[in-house]
Amino acid sequence: MMKRVALITTGGTIASKHNEEGRLSSGAMSGEELKDLLELPNDIEIDIFSMVQKPSMHITFEDLDGIREKINELFENNLTDGVVVTHGTDSLEESAYFFDLTINNSRPIVVTGSQRSPEQLGSDAFINLRHAIYCASDDQLRKIGTVVVFNERIFAAQYVKKEHASNIQGFNAFGFGYLGIIDNDKIYLHQRPVINEKHLPRQEIIPKVEIVKCYLNCDDTLIKACIDKNVNGIILEGVGRGQVSPLMMPAIRDAINQGIHIVITTSSEEGAVYPTYDYIGSAYDLYQAGVILGKDYDSKKSSYQTAVNTSC
């Protein structure tokens, strides 16, 4: 039975061309151009939607919301077996997690990109896109949420991170590994997530959430700036079990008293925030002040979860 996959393109390196100076113009190619260049699989029916043509750091919440609506629309017609979204790698993990949080459907949603443009020697654009399309058409990937396919590996959106700035082995999931592999266009799924988060409803106005990285002798400058800008939420990227500099605590308490939601995460690649210690600036001190403990989420994933959660 022929499968049908929707290919939504948003720009990035995978859709880039060299300009006159020899540098890459990210997102220069439309989905149709990408299809003609990369010889997509001919045993799967592919519908192409060129929605955005941007570098990934130019993507906005409005762009993502439009893509979310398009994916829901495609699934409503019951003609689409799965969706592939091509995306620049710099913010790919964030967008994938946004879709994971906001789209409630059992059919596969696969996000992919490339570290090298289609015109570069040794480009990974073709193989990543080809593998993503096969994954989106495979029933094994149903009911596991949004995944990222990169360099023959399948990753859960919740934990995937860009691990290298330029190498074609660009993504990893520290501590959890990949869910499966693609070998000669065949999908081999070795594990499935056993904890499925609830899907969060999207609200009309996305709250303003800022990330503040914590480090030795860090003071309250950035916390005060967030208060002055009337943000709705702050993600603290603490250290270890979720500690911050004691110099930050007065401003943190002030922000909470003004109704700003604050979440503490850790900069460690593995392990969760936990109120182990009892001193000023510890996770326990933060919790006592009203800060939300961010489990093992990284700061960017926590930011997205906070931004789409209507409780904020």
Q: 26: part of which helix (H) or strand (E)? A: none
Q: What's the pLDDT score for residue 1?
A: 76
Q: What is the dihedral sign for C-alpha 7, 8, 14, 19?
A: positive
251 versus 305: the higher-pLDDT residue is 251
Nearest to 29 by CA among 20, 18, 39, 21: 18
Alpha-carbon distances of 50 from 61, 111, 134, rounded to whole Å: 17, 15, 20
- Answer for the pair 235, 265: CB distance below 8 angstroms, yes or no: yes
Q: What's the pLDDT score for residue 310?
A: 39
**Helix, strand, coil share (%) of the chain residues, nearest 5:** 30, 25, 45
Q: What does the pLDDT read at residue 19? A: 85
**pLDDT at residue 197 above 70?**
no
Residue 179 has pLDDT above 80, yes or no: yes
Whole-angstrom distance, CA of residue 171 vs CA of residue 144: 19
What is the structure's pLDDT at 312? 40
Domains (ranges, CATH) in the chain? 3-189 (3.40.50.1170), 209-308 (3.40.50.40)
pLDDT at 28: 78
72-81, 122-131, 195-204: least confident range: 195-204
Among the options 9, 10, 13, 266, which is catalytic? 13
CB atoms within 10 A of CB 71: 23
User: Are the C-beta atoms of residues 145 and 196 closer than 8 Å to each other?
Assistant: yes
Say what the pTM is.
Answer: 0.92
Q: At what angle do helices 125-136 and 31-38 cross, to 10 degrees?
A: 100
Q: What is the pLDDT at residue 311?
A: 43
User: Does the pLDDT at position 148 exceed 80?
Assistant: yes
Beta bridge partners of 186: 183
Most confident of 25-39, 81-95, 296-310: 81-95
Model confidence at 198: pLDDT above 70: no
- Run of H or E including 211: strand 209-213
| Predicted pLDDT at 309 | 61
Cβ 67 vs Cβ 51: under 8 Å: yes
Is 13 known to be catalytic? yes
Distance between CA atoms of residues 129 and 80, nearest Å: 17
Q: What's the pLDDT score for residue 41?
A: 81
**Calpha distance 132→113 (Å, rounded):** 9
Q: Which of 8, 158, 13 is nearest to 84 (CA)?
A: 8
pLDDT band (50, 70, 90) for residue 203: low
- Compute the mean pLDDT over every residue in the chain, rounded to the nearest whole number: 92
State yes or no: pLDDT of 57 exceeds 50: yes
- Predicted pLDDT at 77: 87
Mean pLDDT of 144-153: 97
Can you tell me whether residue 104 is helix, strand or coil?
A: coil
Say what percent of the chain tops pLDDT 90. 78
